[in-house]
Every structure is written in C-alpha cells, then in structure tokens.
Structure 1
Amino acid sequence: MTSKIKATSSKQLKVTPDEPSDDLQQLGENNSLENNPGPSKKLLHGRRKRYAMDVSNAVYNIEQKINHFLKLQHERWQAFYQEYSHQFLTMVVMWNIDVDQVKKHTEKLSNILDEQQKLFQEF
C-alpha cells in the first residue's frame, strides 16, 4: 500500500487547461478505489466543501471575536468617559465653592482693613 502512495506521490502530473489530465480520464473509466489510486471527484468535492465551511466558520469566529472586543472597548471607553466627566464636574463644583469662599474671606478682610483704617484715623 505504501508503494502505491509513494509511486503516485512521486509522479508529477502536468495538466494543461485545454487537455484533461490522464487521472481525470481514469476517474471516469474506473470507479473502484483499488484501480484508482487518486481521490475521487466526490471525495475532492467533499473535502473542498468541508474546507470552505471550516474557513467560513473561522472567519465568522474571528469576526465575532473582533466585534466582541470592539464592543468591550466601547463599553470601557464609555465607563472611563463617565468617570472622567464625573471627576471633572466634581472638581469644577469644588473650584466654584473655593472661589466663593475666597470671595467671602476677601470681603471680610477688606471690611476688617477698612475698620482698622478708620480706627487708626480716629486715634
């Protein structure tokens, strides 16, 4: 059995587009696997179909993984943006509170300074 495989695997076929190969002619003449060392058309068609299905499934799985990754990245970006926005808004609110306090303290200090100037002028 191995001698047949070696003999057929070492034989190189030359097929031109205009002429059918000898193996294809033998496939039509002989239907038994014992007389035909090469694969049959049905077998090749089945292999081609399985290969196409495998490739199609692999591409589909890759697309699904990419879509899942993109969706996950989008969700992470939204969460990051929301957290950043929340922190920024909190900082702006705290800034405004601090500015208001500084204004109040400035007014108080200004009033104290005015009172001291009045007292100094009185003395």
Structure 2
Amino acid sequence: MGIEKTEQLLNKFDYKFEKKNDQIIVKLDLAQRIIIDFSNPEKIKITDRLVGWNFLTGLIEMSIKNATIYNFIGALVLTIMFVYLDLESDGINLIFFFLTFILWAILWTTFYLIKAENIKRTLMSWNL
C-alpha cells in the first residue's frame, strides 16, 4: 500500500482527506476520521477516531473502541443510579430512559464500526 496510490484512489472516489507527513486522515461523515499511517513501510497502521461532536462521546475525542468502553461505564453508572432511584421512589419508572440509552449506544456504535471497517476493507482492497 503506497501513500501516492492511496491518495489517487481517495481523490478518484471523492473522499475528503488531509495529508500530514506520513499520514492520511480520511474525513468521513458525522465526525469520524480514519488515520492511515505510512511511517513504517513494512506495516501500515489504520486507526479510527471520533472527533468533534458525535453521537457516542459528545465532544470528547477518542477511538470507537474507547467510546464503547466509555458508554459501557456510563450504562453501569446509569444502572446503579436508576436502581437506587427506583428503590427510593414508588411511581417513577426509569426503564424507558435506560433502554433508550442502551439502544442509542448500540445503534451508534454499530453505525460507526460498520463505516470504519468498510473504509478499512476498501483501502486494503485498493492497494493489493
């Protein structure tokens, strides 16, 4: 996989990207970036980042893997908080909010993972 060939193919298919030294940063929709690191010619490194405002982490920049862990910890905190609130009050039913949070996290994690893996697979198939 060469940096020039990758640039040509990204231009050909109208991807937005930016080149910094030995890296190409592909800008995908909804604040997702794929970073292709060509600094070691024997081993090309492809990573992902969620930047700016996104639906999993808000404004915190991190990888999709870390965003999944972040949301898992948030779900645990919500679970503890909702169980405590449910024990303290009689009429409040918080299961709807909890299920909404879980569904939101699962849907957006799946969306970002599919987009990241598709672009990684496409980049690898272009440069065989």
Give the structure-1-normalised TM-score. Answer: 0.29
**Larger Cα Rg: Structure 1 or Structure 2?**
1
Give the structure-2-normalised TM-score. Answer: 0.28
The higher-RCO structure (CA 8 Å, 6+ apart) is: 2
Relative to its length, the structure with more strand (as a share) is 2
